[in-house]
A and B are shown apart, each in its own frame.
Chain A
Amino acid sequence: MAKKDMADNKAAVGIHKTAKEIYDKALKGQKPQLKMPIRSLGNVTYKKEGYLSLSNQYKTRTLTYNTVKGFAQTLKMMSASKELIDTDDHASKREMYYISKNWGPARFDEQPESDTVMDDIEAMMCVNREQLRFLPEEKGGEVAGQLIVMDRDRDTAKPIKIDCTGFGSGAYSIPSSVEHLGFQTKAKFILCIETAGMFQRLVAHNYWRKANCILISMGGVPTRATRRFVRRLADSIKIPVYTFVDGDPYGVANIYRTLKVGSGNAAHINEFFCVPTATFMGITPQDVNDYKLPTHPLKEVDIKRAKDALKNDPFFKFHKPWVAAIEAMIKSGVRAEQQALAKHGLNYVMDVYLPEKLKKADKFLP
């Protein structure tokens, strides 16, 4: 709780400080400015600690004729955030968009506009949007396996133990805020899976019991909550995190990279919202050969994404094995999905592939 208050404090202090600066400058007859880091892959560096970090490019938005609307919207949203902190409430991103409908001509016409302003404020304050009391619509991932999550009752603050083995053919949903959770487990590793289909197969056959592990469904690019959940879990129980995604540029450059080192857009908070200990189990280009997997040709966007990763992504550029692997993928011109293993039988993945791969966990790509 103390930690959370501090986090709130940071957001509240930041908002007050920014507002005060604007106010003082305005009274002096100067044009107020908002300074925020540029959030893009072009402005991040790969830290050896294992995450993408903001470097020092900032954009300054000066209040002029052209920026007056955006300025008003930013300040109104900061004001809304402060109110949420003061009243210990929160709003979803969508709700924030609807709140703006009270602002007359300064309202947002589409949610992406309000999301962008929200991201700007986050970066400006160097906090995450949960600290600003804005929650994402997106659901976190799902968890099944050898894990007990310690939550608390919303009304009574009484601890609640959630056993992730007890969901049958279902799974535990990661909440959008995970800072208050505690963990108990004897599992040997965490397996983060890209597709819900593969996760379902492993859950249905209680693979977690056989392998003594925790299964996490990312459902595409992992949300911040999922990343933070895995990170806190990995930090607290110190077990390895393996990633099992499609063998294509999207699985590598978007899903895995974001899980491991964070995203360009959230670079200001990547330090906490990534899992630096995660490694890449598959599907690798080598697996395609070893397991004789059926493939599809790489599409143009795939190739562009792969080349972009080699050229612009500080994380891949830092790791030579990754450069080699992505180059091999481009050269082969094909991609292979997780479910391609079904060619050898539906349970081949559990009976052959995973056990074989896990024996060579030290060879996983970084």
Chain B
Amino acid sequence: MGKRKVVQKEVLTEEKTSVKEKGKALKVAPEPRMKAHKKKGPAENAESLAKKQREISVSEFFAKNRHLLGFDNPKKALLTAVKEAIDNSLDACEESEILPEITVKLVRLSAKVVEPTPEEEAALAKGGKPKKKNPTPTEKYCLTVIDNGPGIVPAQIPKIFAKLLYGSKFHRLKMSRGQQGIGIAAAGMYGQMTTGKPMRVYSKLPKNPKATFVELQIDTKTNKPDVLQEKEVAWTEKTSSGTIVEITLEGRYQRGRQSIDEFVLLNTLSNPHASFKFVDPDGEIFDYPRKIEELPPLPSEIKPHPYGVELGRFHQMVADTSQKTMRQFLTKEFSRVSDKVVDEIFKEAGVKDFSLASAQSDKVTSVHEAIKKVPIMNPPTDCIVPIGEELLTETLRNQTKAEFYTAITRPPSVYRGNPFVVECALAFGGELRGDEAMTVFRFANRVPLQFQPAACATLRVITKADWKNYGLNQQKNSLPVGPVAVVIHVASVWVPFTSESKEAIADYPEIKQEIRLAVLECARRLSVHVSRGRRADEAERKANYIDTYIPFIGEALQAMLTLSDKERDKVVATLRDTLEKGKLDG
């Protein structure tokens, strides 16, 4: 949820749009009422309630509902902070056409929490009393993420890092990792809440010899940044520009599944053009140099497609636009709306072109309703940049030692007016474990998804497919078992997630269908490969079988026809050739 490269226009309109919009929606948050219910005493009336009713800021809301952003537990909080920082850095680098170089450092500031041994865990599971009274032991960390991106204009730093829902990406339709503009600020807020330490940002622009250092906090009541310190400092990195973010936060570092290590590693899969370096709390350095020296093409930005804009947003756009009439508004602010399409929309709505300034609300609504009834061409799809079949195969090859690889990038498709592309790569055999469930690597706009696999459209499609047809074992509605690894990448100008923490892709039928087609195509190629292998084995077996028995035919013919050894060998050789030729149909 990055918000680096802020377009000036959006800076001006930000207050008016995003916060206002979200703030409205959040007014109904149940928190104050729940408190009221707990209170004992005289019954509330409308007046007494009114005294308690007040606006809740986004920051406040998320401070209380931090699980919505992926900060449910210390371990995940740490990962989410890393994830948001990396996403932002990658987006910023790519938009500035810089090959990303990202360093993640984790320094443990508190004593290391001793992991329970397997025996202790088993005892816990059996209902024994835990040794420590503290139910969730936490550690304190300093997280530093360094990138070689374009840097940030000093005036923007506070808003970007210490204001929720502030960003460059929410209002545009362009494929990027961040979408809403919550992430990094939320990470900072989390750090602030758990440790009381402010967030520290260093930013260097290419033109300035020095870097700007800012120390800031978020005022959760007003959702406004609170700058504690700002000064010019020397830039210690070798790059000509870049940003360093430091957050002190509570968390837990564990290796293995759903770990930071895994997240960085998965990022190398989906971002072969980026270099990553991870220094773990024990000081161990993981270095992943980039695999290609070429940036992916920059996705172009598109205007929203009429089908993808809901009523509330449509009204908002009408209120915000600089266009004078509805016709101008529709043709200028949306993609694929021609004058001819507008004619049809107006005809369907039973209206003529009207001025927006004096427009009645229900007139606007009727236009919005008419849109759905008019056929409109799908949005342009060049705004999506897939990883590509070749690179997907290559990265999967680096990641797994398999015997067979295949990948497919589906043609772009559209859900709710948003273009998207599904890609799938599959590895089979080799050193992949045959007795384990299929490994699935999920990506959305190149961001690895590590949580909630069961809620994700990708897994739902894979478990529903019948893998027995493709030579794998599978219990109904579960992952197939076999030496298979699958990468699924969904790229879109707006990837629909099931929650703000962006862990699982929502179940849109159009998206599921594309995932299904991609996965099944890979599976089909796999079955071709598998049966080809079987045929080769079969052929060899048959050749051996033939070689075993043909000499006896030669021997018998020699005895019956009193042939010479030479004649016998000749007939054996000829027979073998004849049978070898026909063995596959024999």
Chain A contact residues, CB within 8 Å of chain B: 15-16, 19-20, 22-23, 26-27, 29-32, 63-66, 68-69, 71-73, 75-76, 78-79, 82-83, 103-106
Q: Which of B552, B577, B578 contacts A72 (CB 8 A)?
A: B552
Query: Which B residues touch A27, using CB under 8 A?
Result: 570-571, 574
Query: Which B residues touch A31, using CB under 8 A?
Result: 578-579, 582
**Does the CB pair A30–B545 fall under 8 Å?**
no
Residue of A16, A23, A69, A75 with most partner-chain B CB within 10 A: A23
**Does the CB pair A65–B560 fall under 8 Å?**
no
Q: Does B575 contact A (CB under 8 A)?
A: yes
Q: Does B525 contact A (CB under 8 A)?
A: no
**Does the CB pair A19–B575 fall under 8 Å?**
no
Give complex CA distance A64, B550 in Å. 11
A26 and B578 in contact, given A15-B560, A16-B561 (Cβ under 8 angstroms): yes
The B307-365 residues at the A interface (CB cut-off 8 A) are: none
**Does the CB pair B574–A29 fall under 8 Å?**
yes
**Does the CB pair A26–B561 fall under 8 Å?**
no
A26 and B574 in contact, given A65-B545, A106-B549 (Cβ under 8 angstroms): yes
**Does the CB pair B586–A82 fall under 8 Å?**
no
Which chain B residue lies CB-closest to A107? B552
Q: Does B6 contact A (CB under 8 A)?
A: no
Give complex CA distance A27, B554 in Å. 12
Give complex CA distance A202, B576 in Å. 63
**Does the CB pair A29–B578 fall under 8 Å?**
yes
Q: Does B553 contact A (CB under 8 A)?
A: yes
Give complex CA distance A16, B549 in Å. 21
A79 and B579 in contact, given A27-B574, A65-B542, A72-B550 (Cβ under 8 angstroms): no
**Does the CB pair B561–A20 fall under 8 Å?**
yes
CB proximity of A71 to chain B, nearest CB, Å: 6
Q: How many residue pairs at the A-B interface have CB separations less than 8 Å?
A: 86
Given contacts A26-B557, A82-B559, 20 further A-B contacts (CB under 8 A): A22-B553, A27-B570, A29-B578, A31-B582, A32-B575, A63-B553, A63-B579, A64-B579, A64-B583, A66-B586, A68-B553, A69-B545, A69-B549, A71-B549, A72-B556, A73-B552, A75-B552, A105-B549, A106-B549, A106-B552
Give complex CA distance A32, B553 in Å. 11
Q: Does B555 contact A (CB under 8 A)?
A: yes
Q: Which of B552, B560, B563, B582 contacts A64 (CB 8 A)?
A: B582
Query: Which B residues touch A73, using CB under 8 A?
Result: 552
Q: Does B546 contact A (CB under 8 A)?
A: yes
**Does the CB pair A26–B571 fall under 8 Å?**
yes
Q: Which of A20, A79, A105 contacts B556 (CB 8 A)?
A: A79
Query: Which A residues touch B583, using CB under 8 A?
Result: 64-65
Query: Which A residues touch B13, using CB under 8 A?
Result: none
Which chain A residue lies CB-closest to B546? A68
Q: Which of B542, B557, B582, B586 contacts A19 (CB 8 A)?
A: B557
Q: Does B229 contact A (CB under 8 A)?
A: no
Query: Which B residues touch A82, using CB under 8 A?
Result: 559-560
Q: Does B136 contact A (CB under 8 A)?
A: no
Interface residues on B, range: 20 to 34
Chain B interface, DSSP helix/strand/loop, else mixed: helix
Give complex CA distance A64, B571 in Å. 15
**Does the CB pair B560–A68 fall under 8 Å?**
no
Chain B contact residues, CB within 8 Å of chain A: 542, 545-546, 548-550, 552-553, 555-557, 559-561, 563, 570-571, 574-575, 577-579, 582-583, 586
Query: Which A residues touch B586, using CB under 8 A?
Result: 64-66
Which chain B residue lies CB-closest to A32? B575
CB proximity of A14 to chain B, nearest CB, Å: 11
Chain A interface, DSSP helix/strand/loop, else mixed: helix
CB proximity of B406 to chain A, nearest CB, Å: 31
Q: Which of A26, A66, A69 contacts B575 (CB 8 A)?
A: A26
Q: Which of B546, B548, B556, B571 contacts A78 (CB 8 A)?
A: B556
Query: Which A residues touch B549, using CB under 8 A?
Result: 68-69, 71-72, 105-106
Query: Which A residues touch B577, using CB under 8 A?
Result: 29
CB proximity of B563 to chain A, nearest CB, Å: 8
Sample (29) of A-B pairs whose CB atoms are under 8 Å apart: A20-B561, A22-B557, A23-B561, A23-B563, A23-B571, A26-B574, A26-B575, A27-B574, A29-B577, A29-B578, A63-B553, A64-B583, A65-B582, A65-B586, A66-B586, A69-B548, A69-B549, A75-B557, A76-B555, A76-B556, A78-B560, A79-B555, A79-B556, A79-B557, A82-B560, A103-B552, A105-B548, A105-B549, A106-B552
Query: Which B residues touch A23, using CB under 8 A?
Result: 557, 561, 563, 571
Query: Which B residues touch A71, using CB under 8 A?
Result: 549, 553
Query: Which B residues touch A22, using CB under 8 A?
Result: 553, 557
**Does the CB pair A19–B578 fall under 8 Å?**
no
Give complex CA distance A73, B553 in Å. 8
Query: Which B residues touch A19, using CB under 8 A?
Result: 556-557, 560-561
Query: Which A residues touch B542, using CB under 8 A?
Result: 65
Give complex CA distance A65, B548 in Å. 11
CB proximity of A118 to chain B, nearest CB, Å: 15
Give complex CA distance A72, B553 in Å. 5
Q: Across the A-B interface, give the 4 residue pairs with the lowest CB-CB distance, nearest first.
A: A65-B586, A75-B556, A64-B586, A72-B552
CB proximity of B420 to chain A, nearest CB, Å: 51
Query: Which B residues touch A75, using CB under 8 A?
Result: 552-553, 556-557, 560
CB proximity of B535 to chain A, nearest CB, Å: 13
Query: Which A residues touch B574, using CB under 8 A?
Result: 26-27, 29
Query: Which B residues touch A104, using CB under 8 A?
Result: 552
**Does the CB pair A65–B546 fall under 8 Å?**
yes
A68 and B545 in contact, given A26-B575, A63-B579 (Cβ under 8 angstroms): yes
Give complex CA distance A106, B574 in Å. 20
Query: Which B residues touch A79, using CB under 8 A?
Result: 555-557, 559-560
Give complex CA distance A200, B492 in Å. 99
CB proximity of A177 to chain B, nearest CB, Å: 24
